[in-house]
Chains A and B, each alone.
Chain A
């Protein structure tokens, strides 16, 4: 097939479109001037400013805790859902179940946020739980949409591995539970790691849903950033963005390496 120039150029333009704003954001985080877009000299003072801002630090700590707990809950629920969808070919309500698992992926955030808030308020009225809104309600909301993402990641891993390994374990007398923990779990482990990481970053990133279900005194990091950004550009947000982008890039790199390393093994087995 003849290779034209069109595709490489289109791809190069596309990638520069994706990365140019991020690169400029990172560059201007080291700018001395308050004006984020006029370069006036190298400085790391906005990073210092960032670490002296108690509101920012408190929100960051809250967000990290929420993300870790929500991703862990989602990991368990999403893996169970994926096992059910891939391994149980037919069961009552399968269509409804698979719909419920995948719908949160595309549901507009405002709907998810509003519906959960109204649920929490109604539940508090009827059951007296959850009392008020705060970290707990945000964790529940985040775990719900992260479950959908974990399920997709684990599902694709489960559906392309060799079932005969599981069958062999069962033939040797292992119970289904033991087979799952000894055979299935180690094989799908890379998917579990990337599923958890995906859930963690998505939770860390969510503004809209958290705004609906949070209470007074429980502002997450995106909520604090949003209130700052709304008033205009602020250089400490650039500094924060640079730190987050750095962490995420490292995380994605590690996850990719883990996944690439685990593939050749599978081919040999």
Chain B
């Protein structure tokens, strides 16, 4: 008797058209990797990196009437190409007190708001990280949910809450407290930033705190440290990457914030994002707006680099 058992493993089925495409592309020296990379690289180059270069270019032009409303950088005159750069936008930024004041006050407001957000967000993140398993996902979802609901509508919700005859003042009125003036103040802007950016602070903090080894706290307690001492010398230093990542995620967008100061702040609340907006939409001075954008970019470059480093630390731990 001869062995009748013949292997019946079918040959691997492949997607035929794809194989043909791959083979013919490989002949011209295009690998699969390049195909995967091509679309996102091209898109981000054209619609993210090049626009930033265009902003820089136009910040060196000057306002003029017509379409487009700025002077051309390159002109051809009698066959020769001429490059005309104007520095007047930048000179104006450094000499006009309005810009300097707006620049400094944005950094101040963003910084103070970030610190408050940290103080509000840290205990929340810590509580979620220490919560029992079945609670944790629900609490996390409760943090993320407002982030998904409209940012604009949340700022609007705050106006209803803080206005002269708003919910807070009506509540205080029950106890005979005089109405507080909250709207159109810097205070309202702080509340607005803390309120809308809180999820960005909590999520990275939670990610670092939840990975901390509980035995570290036990060891610290066994060695006689009080809870506060344990927190300050064990928990806090170990959660530093989360603190930095969360703070930068609040600080960077807060610097350029437009909606919050214009809906909650008063006329004297100067922020650079608002200046840029007015320069563009009200004064229709595109080159000056571009120069303001370049100055704003300089303010966020270092925080963005800090964020990149902190984020990789958050992920690795």
Contacts and interface: CB of A to CB of B under 8 A. Distances in A.
A237 interface: yes
Given A1-B214, A233-B160, A251-B148, A181 B123 contact: no
A155 B32 CA distance: 19
Given A28-B160, A229-B159, A233-B159, A11 B127 contact: yes
A22 interface: yes
Contacts of A176: 32
B182 interface: no
A114 B276 contact: yes
B43 A144 contact: yes
Interface residues on chain A, size class: 35 or more
Contacts of A121: 68
A80 B139 CA distance: 32
15 contacts: A2-B227, A14-B120, A78-B40, A88-B36, A109-B253, A110-B276, A115-B52, A115-B293, A118-B55, A143-B43, A173-B12, A175-B19, A205-B150, A207-B152, A229-B156
A237 B18 CA distance: 51
A111 B297 contact: yes
Interface in A1-25: 1-4, 6-8, 10-11, 14-15, 17-22, 24-25
Contact of A83 (B36, B148, B151, B156): B36
B15 A108 contact: no
A245 B289 CA distance: 35
Interface residues of B, number: 96
B51 A84 contact: no
A116 interface: yes
Interface stretch (B75-83, B236-244, B254-262): B254-262
B101 interface: no
Contact of B124 (A15, A20, A115, A253): A15
B308 A102 contact: yes
B54 A241 contact: no
B290 A177 contact: no
Contacts of A99: 308
A81 B163 contact: no
B195 to A, nearest CB: 7
Identify the 4 closest CB pairs spanning chains A and B, nearest first.
A108-B256, A173-B12, A10-B123, A115-B51
B28 interface: no
B187 to A, nearest CB: 15
Interface in A23-45: 24-25, 28, 35-38
B142 interface: yes
Interface string B108-150: 0000000000001101101110100000010101111110111
B127 A230 contact: no
A198 B304 CA distance: 22
Contact of A18 (B15, B160, B198, B255): B198
